Amino acid sequence: MLKALSSIAGNLSLPISPIYGGTGVANNAASTLTISGNFGITLTVTGTTSVTLPTSGTLTTLATVVSTANTWTAAQRGAISSFTDAATITLDLSLANNFQGVLGGNRTLGVPTNPVAGQVGQIAIRQDITGSRTLVYAWPFMFPGGAAPTLSTGKLVLDTLYYAINSYSTSAVTVTIAAPGVMTWTAHGLMSGQRIQLTTTGALPTGLSTSTTYWVTVINANTFSLSTSLANAQAATFITTTGSQSGVHTATNLSITISNNLGIA
């Protein structure tokens, strides 16, 4: 088996013997190394030689790097993405961890797209020259003490919101017509007290609605009941479902906590 390729000097093409059906050529002139087959390779690079890794494909050593604890010896930075000002500001969380923008009117911070549990970052929000712009928050956002922050009103003043995605999951669910109604979501992974919203391709049973926030009380790994408030969940007051239903129902759990640093000028 090929164990090591320590250096290739001069303008030459070095054939690599076929082992286990593999073939390959190391071409110094073209600065390429092409290998196929079942090889175990150690590549040692010295001097001013540079190595460019592909932007696609699978690097088995990369999995080792990202799945273990690492100590960085230089500063690490996240790019800042400018959000689009609109009546509802929808952050695309696949673009960056950090966002910034200016409010041109009273706005809603909407449900973000592409959330992933564990992502953290900040949102820098500046008042425009008019000032006194307000911000309300979509259902996934949660706040210390349950109170949403009120933005500063001064013209051109900066507020910073710090967010953390605590949970995100979504799945098709079924619901019983019962008192209380029981939701089934196989291996849901939810915790009592978390919140969900429902959508459907048909009609939900009476007692449930789309675009409404419900609080979860877990029964077992696959089922849970719903309440209309955290207080009701704490009191074990659950929703009774009646009537009929149709279509495919989908539940989404998304929890984003917000803290803040307001009035930066």
pLDDT digits (tens, 9 = 90+) for 24-77: 555 555 555 655 555 555 666 666 666 666 666 655 555 566 678 888 899 989
The tens digit of pLDDT for each residue in 164-186 reads 999 999 999 999 999 999 999 99
Beta-sheet pairing, 158-175 with 249-264: antiparallel
Q: Which residue has the higher pLDDT, 70 or 92?
A: 92
Residue type, 48: T
CA 135 remoteness from chain centre? 22
Which residue, 105, 108, 110, is CA-closest to 93? 110
CA 70 remoteness from chain centre? 21
CATH number for region 167-254: 2.40.30.180
Residue 97 has pLDDT above 70, yes or no: yes
| pLDDT value for 58 | 57
Which residue, 74, 72, 113, 68, is CA-closest to 90? 113
Residue type, 245: Q
Q: Which residues contact 58 (CB under 8 A, 6 or more apart)?
A: none
Distance CA 220, CA 198 (A): 20
